[in-house]
Amino acid sequence: MRFHIMTLFPEIFNSYFGESIMKRAIEKGIIEVFVYNIRDFSTNKHKKVDDYPFGGGAGMLMTPQPIYDTYKHIVDTHNIENPRVIYLTPKGKTLKQGIVKGFSKEEDIILLCGHYEGIDQRIIDLIVTDEISIGDYVLTGGELPALILVDAIARLIPGVLNQNESFEDESFENDLLEYPHYTRPREFMGLSVPDVLLSGNHQKIEAWRKEQSIEITKKRRKDLYKKYCKK
């Protein structure tokens, strides 16, 4: 799967994709990440990428030309048909695991990171297929949301996670939050690992984990709990 990230701050992405699971997935060739500096595509002689909003108001907007030309370059050089272009914005649809699963089926994903007060609406009208928010709070730009989205999608692609990093039991699968985990030592600061986990009885362990998942979901996320009960 190929991720194409359009940004004014390409360096932000270097360290993240150079470490750990993402690095391994790139080395294995399971994912490819291309980062494009929108400023490189500005036809302005000073490489300007922002301007004042028509009608007045605070702040600057990203102008359409450099974004559109970056997009054209990506689509043309990688022969992408029906490109999926995701704009990260607090105005977008709130990201959920189900949306992430949908994106993970694509061959190419193009991500557009906004800055300043936003981007010219015509870019959204012309090229954006999905507007996504990572939550009800406002960040200074779309780079962190783009990283979050790429990470969430990439780990669903077969081969990115090892078998022992698998996601079958984790939160949001079955609409339940994950059960608590324990590792060595058996006792830490006076707190013991629950006996059942040391019992070696896998049926009992499974039942305990399910019960814990249901309990924690009921307590923390009434919305998910209701969904789970309806199944």
Residues in contact with ligand ADE by the rule CB under 6 A: 88-90, 133-135, 137-139, 142, 145
Least distance (Å) between residue 139 CB and ligand ADE: 4
Q: Which is nearer to ligand ADE, 66 or 142 (CB)?
A: 142
Nearest to 26 by CA among 150, 134, 167: 150
* Least distance in angstroms from the C-beta of 144 to ligand ADE: 8
The amino acid at residue 195 is D
Please, which residue, 98 or 158, has the CB nearer to ligand ADE? 98
Q: Say if residue 92 carries a ligand binding annotation.
A: no
CB of 87 to ligand ADE, least distance (A): 8
Smallest distance from ligand ADE to CB 141, Å: 6
Annotated ligand binding at 138? The verdict is: yes
- Report the residue number, 58 or 138, with the smaller CB distance to ligand ADE: 138
Q: Is 128 annotated as a binding residue?
A: no
Instruction: Say how far apart CA 30 and CA 21 lie, in whole Å.
Output: 11
Compute the distance between CA of residue 185 and CA of residue 187 in angstroms, rounded to an integer. 5
User: Tokens in use for 204?
Assistant: 């009992």
Annotated binding residue at 139? Answer: yes
| 182, 53 contact by CB (below 8 A) | no
16 is in an annotated binding site: no
Select 86 or 176, whichever has its Cβ closest to ligand ADE: 86
Give the shortest CB-153-to-ligand ADE separation in angstroms. Answer: 15
Nearer to ligand ADE, 150 or 176 (CB): 150
Q: Which helix (H) or strand (E) holds 7?
A: strand 2-7
179 annotated ligand-binding residue? no
CA–CA separation, 16 and 21 (whole Å): 10
Cα of 25 vs its chain's centroid, Å: 16
Give the strands of the sheet with 2-7, arranged side by side: 32-37, 2-7, 108-113, 85-94, 130-133
Whole-angstrom distance, CA of residue 171 vs CA of residue 174: 8
Known binding-site positions for S-adenosyl-L-methionine: 114, 134-139
Known binding-site positions: 114, 134-139
